[in-house]
Amino acid sequence: MFGCGCGAYCLVTLCFVFGRRVQILTYLLTYLLTYLIVRSFSAAGVPVVKEPTGLSRPDGKRPDVLTLVPWQNCKALCWDVTVICPLADSYISAATRDARAAAELAASRKEVKYAGLDGRHMFASTAFENLAVPSASNRQLLSYLGRRLTDISGESRETCFRDA
């Protein structure tokens, strides 16, 4: 345990120091998770495009990735990876209740932001805490993706997120 800038004793100082280092860590984790999920979809035979044009919110922001083939109910799947710090003021009350609550809160906020997408697309919120706790919708998406990778490769260890 180490003392960090927030005054608490943390296992990993970098994750809990509020300020520039957390922003860099969050950006890096977001980039890496997006990259890993895109590579996994490609390995599963699902073509995707990063930062799709023509699919943006009223504020000009757009999802990270869009599948080029229908995913479910004849709709293409798009998602936006979010990494949050559960000790930030906006998440601390949720994080004290449950280990996954902060990620769930971030996922629900992201779903509200993308609620205005047209009916041709389905949005999947992909939220992680920087302590590696995924939201429940994450588990479902990644479990399905893992099963699909297992079917293609025949290797049962392809799946990291197994259904409990």
Candidate from 21-35, 75-89, 140-154 with smallest mean pLDDT: 21-35
Place of tokens 């504020």: 59
Question: Which pLDDT score is estimated for 61?
Answer: 77
pLDDT of residue 47: 92
pTM, 2 dp: 0.72
Q: Could you list the beta-strand ranges (E) of 20-154.
A: 48-50, 65-72, 75-84, 121-129
Is residue 108's pLDDT more than 60? yes
pLDDT for 10: 46
Residues 16 and 85 sit within 8 Å (Cβ to Cβ): yes
Q: 16 pLDDT exceeds 70? A: no
Domain ranges in the chain are 2-158
Given this model, what pLDDT does residue 125 score? 82
Please state the rounded mean pLDDT for residues 73-102: 83
